[in-house]
Amino acid sequence: MSNATTLRQRQTGETSGSACRAPHQVSDLPLGFDLRAELGQLRAEEPRLQRRHNAKTLVKEGDLRVVLMTLGRGRRIEEHRAPGRTAIHTLKGRIRLRLPAQTVELPAGRLLAIGPRVPHDVEALEDSAFLLTIGCPGS
């Protein structure tokens, strides 16, 4: 990606882009995505980025956020709280969520919904990919 691309002004409704990926639309519905291709891109970025996780916002429209994430085996996302109701759908691997009253394992194909501001952390029991859908009240 050229510096001209990375330095250009972000357009309304799109990401700013980075050295690893070009800007893309996140609002102005309808939006469609090839999740296999998006996961392939995230996986290709992981070795270069040396991150404990990688994420790409797919949709940021009004009160809706959809984020695709990867998390390597044994890695964790420390306790946090989302502002709205959240659905976590495991696409690949197996993750564990620690909630205040329980711990839930989500293998590929499982979905869990939690309420707003519920503290939770996420641990990858295998190399994993998951889709987060978050309702953001007041956005």
79-122 pLDDT, tens per residue?
999 999 999 999 999 999 999 999 999 999 999 999 999 999 99
Q: Tokens in use for 133?
A: 């859908």
Q: Tell me the CATH number at 125.
A: 2.60.120.10
Residues 6+ apart with CB under 8 A from 124: 71, 72, 73, 74, 75, 76, 93, 94, 95
Q: Which amino acid is at 96?
A: R
Q: What gap in Å lies between CA 43 and CA 114, rounded to an integer?
A: 27
C-alpha–C-alpha distance, residues 36 and 24, integer Å: 17
| Integer Cα distance of 125 and 71 in angstroms | 9
CA–CA separation, 40 and 80 (whole Å): 27
Structure tokens at 18: 């980075």
pLDDT digit string (tens) for 49-83? 566 788 999 999 999 999 999 999 999 999 999 99
pTM above 0.75, yes or no: yes
Token pair 């993750």 is at which residue? 95
As for how many domains the chain has, the answer is 1
Which residue in this structure is represented by tokens 């995505």? 33
Domain range for 51 is: 3-135
Burial class (CB in 10 A: 0-12, 13-18, 19+), 58: buried
